[in-house]
Amino acid sequence: MERLIRSTQELLWERGYVGTSPKAIQRAADAGQGSMYHHFAGKAELAKAAIERSGAELRAAADAQLTGEGSASARIAGYLERERDVLKGCQVGRLTADPDVIADPMLRAPVAETFEWLRKRLAEVVAEGKRSGEYPDSLDPQRIAATVAAVLQGGYVLARAAGSSEPFELAVQGLIDLLPEATK
């Protein structure tokens, strides 16, 4: 069951929902058809479990970077510049390209919640930066939070298009250049 979920996460990441067949999942998990259909009602149920797991992983990784000491800009820059397998893309953001995920409330919900959480968490960090005097009062935390999240997701898109992580890194550095600086 554990292997089924992990294999589904990996396949959804690589090939998306439409491109992932139950058979491929079984092969990757080294499990039979009977086993899969015993634990999960079908492809959608299994995908739901996998997406929820991926969302939890993304939140945990982001929270680790955004919580702790350091200025708001330093924490945001740390999050932006963290080691990533850029050409693989984002395992959660990737699913927004899947029409069957977007159309099914059960599958879209964990994706929506993950990015809602991320934007809220980033907005908190920006708000802290305003309170500490690091950022001007005019800065809108919700806007900046969305911009930061978008640069990452869009950076993946540009990198995969180019076949190189360079555009991702340019986009991230460009955003860091634009953010008001504390000590940086």
R_g (Cα) of the chain, nearest Å? 18
Number of Cβ within a 10 Å radius of residue 143: 12
Site string for DNA, 97-136 (x = CB under 7 A): ----------------------------------------
C-beta closer to DNA: residue 18 or 178: 18
Query: At residue 71, what is the residue type?
Result: S
Q: Tokens standing for 49?
A: 């479990």
Phi (first) and psi of residue 157, to 5 degrees: -60, -50
Per partner kind, with CB cut-offs from 5 to 8 A, the member of DNA, its own copies, none near residue 38 is DNA
Helices (H) and strands (E) in the chain, counts: 9, 0
Q: Verify binding: residue 33, DNA, rule CB under 7 A.
A: yes
39 touches DNA by CB under 7 A: yes
Q: Which of 35, 96, 147, 153 binds DNA (CB under 7 A)?
A: 35
Rounded to whole angstroms, the Cα distance separating 102 from 120 reads 21
Shortest reach from residue 53's CB to its own copies, in Å = 17
User: By C-alpha distance, which of 33, 80, 48 is closest to 61?
Assistant: 80
* Per-residue tokens: 50: 């996998």
Question: Do residues 57 and 12 lie in contact, with contact meaning Cβ atoms separated by under 8 Å?
Answer: no
Applying CB under 7 A, among 28, 37, 104, 117 the residue interacting with DNA is: 37
Q: Which residues make up the interface to DNA (CB under 7 A)? A: 1, 18, 20-24, 31-35, 37-39, 42-44
Q: Which residues make up the interface to its own copies (CB under 8 A)? A: 14-16, 18-19, 89-90, 92-94, 96-100, 102, 108, 111-112, 114-116, 119, 138-140, 142-158, 160-163, 167-168, 170-175, 177-179
